[in-house]
Structure 1
Amino acid sequence: MLIQFLTLPILIASNVNLYVVSFLPVITLATYFAMGPGAYLYIIHNMYDKNWKEKAMVMPYLIIYSIGMSVNNTVAVLDAVLGRKNEFLRTPKYGIVKNTDDWRAKAYNLPFSQTTLLELFFGIYGILGIFIAIFSGNPIWVPIIALQTIGFLYIACLSFSHTRFKRGDSKIVYTKTKEEKMADIIHKLAMAGIVAIICFGAYSSYTGYQNDVYPMDQSIGLFDRIMASSEPKTIIADINAIKGFIPTEGNAVWLFPTETTNFSRIQADLDVMEASAVKTSAVPRDSSAFHTGMMDISLRAEIIQGNMMDIVPYMYASVSNILFTCVWIAAIIGIFTILKRKKQHLESFDKSNGV
């Protein structure tokens, strides 16, 4: 599931043809839901007969929860394969060792772990995948990506809520110490900082896609229209639009760049296409020169379109985007590190006071 979730947005962003058969997406969605919700409904209908509708009401929550838990389960499987021994941290442990101990006075706090970061990463990755699917003209894949995204974000929210420095309601009157009050303040500030960083990252990703990648996708779409068109004036207008969408110079491919992905050369090729379209528009439409000119334009458009499709993945993985992502992730990890240290300090304080 995680592999499919990770690869689908990448395939869409890379303009890989996912429509080998025109009705393939419909078959994929039908199979996806038939083997999941469909099979679940069939089983509970046979098991509960009269009460199956009541059981079916919890199915959406079950699907979202099970999808979100796939990260934690995958980590557990990898730990088992690698021989690592870790406890299941999602089980509440209140440290009840005496008959006089009250669980309500205990703090149910989970440590900040890499699993929480992974859940958050998959959630944000899913949001970006939804935008990519929509803006690239593949909205049919949005339900699959969105369903998993909701699951990851839901479990991530639970992970955040369970790592709060808090005291449960208790019959025992409990007054927070100065250290605990400070821990609460730090936690709230840290959570606000994480939310702000996530929002800033999402906004930056959206604007980056809109300014850098989306114009490339629009240009690729215009090339399709050029290849299908037989009207020189429309072709000239589309060529001018493409020239405005793409940079005038530079090479987006930073790893082993070639001349085929050089924007200066692409702009020059577009100038040649435009000149050819102007000449073709001046000859009779039923002449061999007109058909030859249109074929030449179509062939050039196909070649340039292929070159631009090679550029698109590098627009996502540009040097600036990689650096920004590293800084963004480092900021979140830094906040988590501060919270973890404060949590450890609070735990040591609790132990020293017999909590």
Structure 2
Amino acid sequence: MRTPKYGIIKNTDDWRDKAYNLPFTKTTLLEIFFGIYGLFGILIAIFSNNPIFAPIIGIHVVGFFYIAYLSLSHTRYKRDKPSKIHYLTKEEKMANVLYKFAMGGIVALIIFAAYMAYTGYETDVYPLDISRGLLDRIMISSDPHSILVDLKEIKGFLREEGNPVWIFPTPSTDWNRIQQDLDVMIANVELIASVPRDSSVFNTGMIDLSDRALVLQENLEDVTPYMYVNFINIVLAAVWIAAILGIFAVLKRKKEQLQTSDTEGV
């Protein structure tokens, strides 16, 4: 529970001239960080076909942002107007400027993080989602020509080499092997298209294609989480955290300046 503290030190002090303010602490930054982190979790849950987790995460996100809002609104950087006119000193004016820059930096970082999350999903994850959808269509299709078009489209969406799984990589998530499997499927489709549809060869070939498509779909599902947690994203996250810590240092400096000015004014 938060109880107002008006800084009554002397018998002559009047609480009406005081404002209820809390110090800005690291806890507030953690609240903002986990709120943003939760937003990313909601987006990942939705785009990874797990929307059932979005409401659960959303409850925590609302809680973190609400508490962060209360913390900021009650911080000592937001002062109510006292009954006596208070003229800001040079140090207080400079502290206010630093605070505005810090708040602008936080907003800029949030916008930057949202932009990077969007572009990262669009370039790395969205092609995999499309490919899995095309594989779904291949598994239920009986038209070799449409399957051939879908397979060639999948080849264009996927990378040609490398392995996105950087912790204990396996051949099943190797891009080169996945591309080779697609080439084999394309060759099989071309052969199937040349035989009668009512033949056993056609039916057996279509079943084999469906099984291969299912295996590829599972491989892409294994790859998807590592597209979020790749080396570039880890570096950007580290830079983002470092910037947040830098902003906190600026706010801490402002807090110390305000405390100094308050002490001198007593």
Q: Does TM, normalized by the shorter one, top 0.5?
A: yes
Matched, 1:267 2:179: yes
Equivalent residue runs for 1:134-153 within 5 Å: 134-139=46-51, 141-153=53-65
Provide the C-alpha distance between the structure 1 equivalents of 2:68 and 2:202, rounded to a whole number of angstroms: 61
**2:195 alignment partner, one of 263, 275, 283:** 283
1:117 is matched with which residue?
Answer: 29
Cα deviation for residue 192 of structure 1 reads: 0.6
Cα deviation for residue 158 of structure 1 reads: 2.5
Q: Assess, with a 3 A threshold, how the Cα gap between structure 1 residues 219 and 269 changes in structure 2: closer, same or farther.
A: same
Tell me, yes or no, if the aligned pair for 2:19 and 2:82 is still in contact at 8 Å: no
Matched, 1:313 2:222: no
Tell me, yes or no, if the aligned pair for 2:109 and 2:240 is still in contact at 8 Å: yes
Cα deviation for residue 308 of structure 1 reads: 1.4
Provide the C-alpha distance between the structure 1 equivalents of 2:75 and 2:205, rounded to a whole number of angstroms: 67
Show CA shifts across 1:79-136 (max 9, x none): xxxxxxxxx6x43322113343233443544333332122112221232233223333
Cα deviation for residue 333 of structure 1 reads: 1.2
Cα deviation for residue 339 of structure 1 reads: 0.8
Identify unmatched segments of 5+ residues in structure 2.
none
Cα deviation for residue 285 of structure 1 reads: 1.3
Q: Assess, with a 3 A threshold, how the Cα gap between structure 1 residues 121 and 167 changes in structure 2: closer, same or farther.
A: closer
Cα deviation for residue 198 of structure 1 reads: 0.9
Q: Assess, with a 3 A threshold, how the Cα gap between structure 1 residues 94 and 222 changes in structure 2: closer, same or farther.
A: same
**2:109 alignment partner, one of 170, 177, 197:** 197
- Matched positions, count: 266
Provide the C-alpha distance between the structure 2 equivalents of 1:91 and 1:283, rounded to a whole number of angstroms: 82
Q: Assess, with a 3 A threshold, how the Cα gap between structure 1 residues 306 and 166 changes in structure 2: closer, same or farther.
A: closer
Cα deviation for residue 146 of structure 1 reads: 3.5
**1:233 alignment partner, one of 137, 145, 152:** 145
TM-score of the superposed pair, with normalisation by structure 1: 0.70
Equivalent residue runs for 1:1-355 within 5 Å: 90-139=2-51, 141-163=53-75, 165-354=77-266
TM-score of the superposed pair, with normalisation by structure 2: 0.91
Provide the C-alpha distance between the structure 1 equivalents of 2:172 and 2:18, rounded to a whole number of angstroms: 65
Tell me, yes or no, if the aligned pair for 2:26 and 2:248 is still in contact at 8 Å: no
Identify unmatched segments of 5+ residues in structure 1.
1-87
Q: Which has the higher contact order (CA 8 A, sep 6+)?
A: 2
Tell me, yes or no, if the aligned pair for 1:285 and 1:291 is still in contact at 8 Å: yes
Cα deviation for residue 274 of structure 1 reads: 0.9
- Percent identity (aligned): 59
Show CA shifts across 1:159-190 (max 9, x none): 22333524322112221111111111111111
Cα deviation for residue 346 of structure 1 reads: 1.8
Which segment drifts farther, 293-302 or 154-163? 154-163
Provide the C-alpha distance between the structure 2 equivalents of 1:238 and 1:280, rounded to a whole number of angstroms: 15
Q: Assess, with a 3 A threshold, how the Cα gap between structure 1 residues 113 and 292 changes in structure 2: closer, same or farther.
A: same
Q: Match of 1:286, as an amino acid?
A: D
